[in-house]
Amino acid sequence: MEIDGTQVLVRTITDEEPAILMAWLALLKEGGSLQTGRIREAELQTQAKVVLGQLRDALASGQSDFGSEAYASLRETLGEISRSRAIQGFSSTDTAKFVFSLKEPIFEALGRTQAGDASLIAAATRSASRLLDRLGLHTMEVFQTSREEVIGRQTQEIAELSTPVVRLWDGILALPLIGTLDSARTGVVMENLLQAIVDEEAEIAIIDITGVPTVDTLVAQHLLKAIAAARLMGADCIISGIRPQIAQTMVHLGVELNVVSKATLADAFALALRRTGRAVVRKQAAATTASEDRR
């Protein structure tokens, strides 16, 4: 016959709440939850107190199903704690420990209050264990989701940060590409480039691929599309920064970019200046000084 462990559990937690809380906090401290300095002792105490109180209230409602309405506020609190820990940079172990270190104090309290009745202790331990496992899983789920949100935001930031369009001179833009060019990033690159062409009334855009580690057919196709779109906007593209090994590989691959390309960004810039009717010349004064020195 199954003895209802939840009843015993409620009674124990209600009677022994201060002792459980103290033992729990001691375990948390011992486990190094405070050592990283990411959370203050007072804050940890408050969190533990609230969680234990809400757990007691939820159990007192007679429900043992963690998914039920009675546990809504507890789920909320745990979710909040997890989220803040994910953002503060706690490890997943630290976050899981918060809930799992509550097990031992509860088991001990059960042993104290129900001394002598082994079957009651066993039933209550089973209920407590099942419930705390659910609590722990919920905590981890929220923790992971929050981490993924952080990563997702960073990915987006990287995509935006790593595709700046730089104005080199009137009507001359440079687009230094760095890293892997996937479809999502190419979209951002193309959008930035086309907008910059409009804003700067650019005639020439230099796409520098020094920082692109691999140029395969997909990257080439993305580049070709960007070039074609830029052309439609009235700007000519120059590709720069094709390293020797990339050039050889592209030839074997059979990719033709059908666009003027230069080995370095400096060469491409010089060409762009020439094309727009400009030239870089050494200042006359400097030249004179140099010739005087020689004399």
Closer residue to other proteins, CB minimum distance, 252 or 294: 252
258 binds other proteins (CB under 8 A): no
271 binds other proteins (CB under 8 A): no
Closer residue to other proteins, CB minimum distance, 195 or 248: 248
- Per CB under 8 A, the list member of 88, 217, 264, 288 interacting with other proteins is 217
Binders in 28-47 for other proteins, by CB under 8 A: none
245 binds other proteins (CB under 8 A): yes
218 binds other proteins (CB under 8 A): yes
- Per CB under 8 A, the list member of 30, 141, 160, 216 interacting with other proteins is 216
73 binds other proteins (CB under 8 A): no
244 binds other proteins (CB under 8 A): yes
- Per CB under 8 A, the list member of 246, 257, 270, 273 interacting with other proteins is 246
Q: Are strands 236-240 and 260-262 parallel, antiparallel or unpaired?
A: parallel
Asked if residues 109 and 16 have their Cβ atoms less than 8 Å apart, the reply is yes
Binders in 164-193 for other proteins, by CB under 8 A: 180, 182-183
- Return the structure tokens found at 213: 């580690």
d(CA 21, CA 116): 24
- Return the structure tokens found at 151: 């990563």
Helix axes 183-200, 118-161, angle to 10 degrees: 40
Closer residue to other proteins, CB minimum distance, 183 or 291: 183
To which H or E segment does residue 169 belong?
A: strand 166-169
156 binds other proteins (CB under 8 A): no
- Return the structure tokens found at 221: 């196709």
* Least distance between other proteins and beta carbon 136 (Å): 29
Helix axes 118-161, 41-60, angle to 10 degrees: 130
- Per CB under 8 A, the list member of 39, 48, 123, 215 interacting with other proteins is 215
d(CA 265, CA 275): 15
252 binds other proteins (CB under 8 A): yes
- Per CB under 8 A, the list member of 35, 254, 258, 295 interacting with other proteins is 254
Q: What is the dihedral of CA 80, 84, 89, 90, to 10 degrees?
A: -50
Cα distances from 272 to residues 148, 233, 260, in angstroms, run: 43, 17, 11
Residue 80 makes CB contacts below 8 A (sequence gap 6+) with: none
Binding footprint of other proteins on the chain (CB under 8 A)? 180, 182-183, 213-218, 220-221, 224, 244-246, 248-249, 252-255
